[in-house]
Structure 1
Amino acid sequence: MAPFTCLLFAFLASLSMLKDTHLFCSADPTDGFTDVPLTEYNFEMQWPYNLNLSDRYSNTDGVRRLWVYSTDKPFNPTTTTKPRTEIRIRGYDYSSGVWQFEGYGFVPNGTSGTSIVQIHRTTYPATVLMLMVVDGQLKFYHRTLVEPNIYDRWMRVNVIHDVDSNKITVFVNDVQKLEIEGNGPNAFYFKCGVYGQTDETYYMESMWRDIRVLKKDG
């Protein structure tokens, strides 16, 4: 084999090795965004109204654990919605611009039929996005697969909502997994936790850490 050909093959092989070891740089979902300040005030809790918060929520060393049972009460006595233990990001409702939720989520084996991330609207229809756990898969509502085999591992979840362009993009572990149209203008806010939906299991749980809300610069 000619020396030049050998060098070419060696160069291509080295590129392949670099790619396999993830040394190539790629854009981070948060590039061009700025964090908004969050304190505990911004983490508004919703949990079964007849229980203490500590019965369905803990925060240990920055890991927020949220759980609920399908037989639990809703979060207030006047609603007919299903049981939930959720964090509602308070103080950052938005109706324009480009906003982002980021969090590292963990779902234990056995949890199914529950929403773990929402973009909520202030008027009907109630949501523009639900990321749901369905039999170990992360789905957009019950329809579109977002990420397979999610049980018992931490995932970096980034949800970007471009209100003006009516576009929502979801990344899991820095890989774009979903891009959809929204359902029009409104005021919106982010939520995460567990909220029973269709065919929910008796016990539902998710854990979250390093939750951030970001806004597009400019």
Structure 2
Amino acid sequence: MKVQWPYDLRKGERYSFENGVHTLKVYSNDKPHSKESHTRPRTEVRIAGYDYSSGVWQFEGQGFVPGGTSGVCIMQVFGASGHATTLMLRVYGDNLAVYRSKILPNIHNKWFRLNVIHNVDAGKVMVYIDRSLVYKGLDHGGKSHYFKFGVYAQDDDSHLMESRWKGIKIFKKK
């Protein structure tokens, strides 16, 4: 796992891993993750060693988003054709969204089980929360993908954005 955090801070100021829980924070006025980057502030974990270009891949983990966190991507499937990402799960208000399309209300202040399945060959993505299918759609193509989780500021972001994660697993269908 590779952690990205604001370049002018120590990692421990925005990321911790204690008792099996990743805690990731970022503020709307933080710097990007590198001096060369022109992206929004983020503290994310890029799951290294599991890049893929074909087959069926699954991200599994338990997430928690504290109340007040909004305007933030908490999980993404990076890589696409004509886009940076195949999927972004974002929080707006107390709602979980795929990009800006609401898929689930009342996401704050409770642990949830997230499963994201990306069938590259069929060009499809499915999102399950607590074992219930909440989204099924087409991916955005592309030849190289990987998973990320954490907090990545989007539009209408709150001053403080935070998410917590545990039990992260990656699966590949044989």
TM range (shorter): over 0.9
1:137 partner letter: N
Q: How does 1:140-155 map to 2 (within 5 A)?
A: 140-143=98-101, 145-155=102-112
Is 1:133 equivalent to 2:91 in the alignment?
yes
Shift of 1:147: 1.5
Identity %: 48
Q: Give CA-to-partner distance per residue, 1:80-104, whole Å, 9 cap, x none.
A: 1000000001111100000000110
Partner of 1:5: none
Match of 1:106 among 56, 64, 82: 64
Partner of 1:173: 130
Q: What is the DSSP-based 3-state SS (H/G/I as helix, E as strand, rest coil) of the residue aligned with 1:157? A: strand
- 8 A Cα contact 2:81 2:142, kept in partner: no
Shift of 1:183: 1.2
Which moved further from structure 2: 91-100 or 181-190? Answer: 181-190
Q: How does 1:1-218 map to 2 (within 5 A)?
A: 43-121=1-79, 124-143=82-101, 145-217=102-174
The number of residue pairs the alignment matches comes to 174
Shift of 1:123: 6.3
2:127 partner letter: V
Q: What is the DSSP-based 3-state SS (H/G/I as helix, E as strand, rest coil) of the residue aligned with 2:127? A: strand
Unaligned runs of 5+ in 2: none
* TM-score, normalised via structure 1 length: 0.78
Unaligned runs of 5+ in 1: 1-42
Between the aligned partners of 1:198 and 1:52, the Cα distance in structure 2 is: 25
> Which structure shows the bigger proportion of residues in strand conformation?
2
Greater relative CO, 1 or 2 (CA 8 Å, sep 6+): 2
Q: What is the DSSP-based 3-state SS (H/G/I as helix, E as strand, rest coil) of the residue aligned with 1:54? A: helix
Between the aligned partners of 1:100 and 1:91, the Cα distance in structure 2 is: 14
* TM-score, normalised via structure 2 length: 0.98
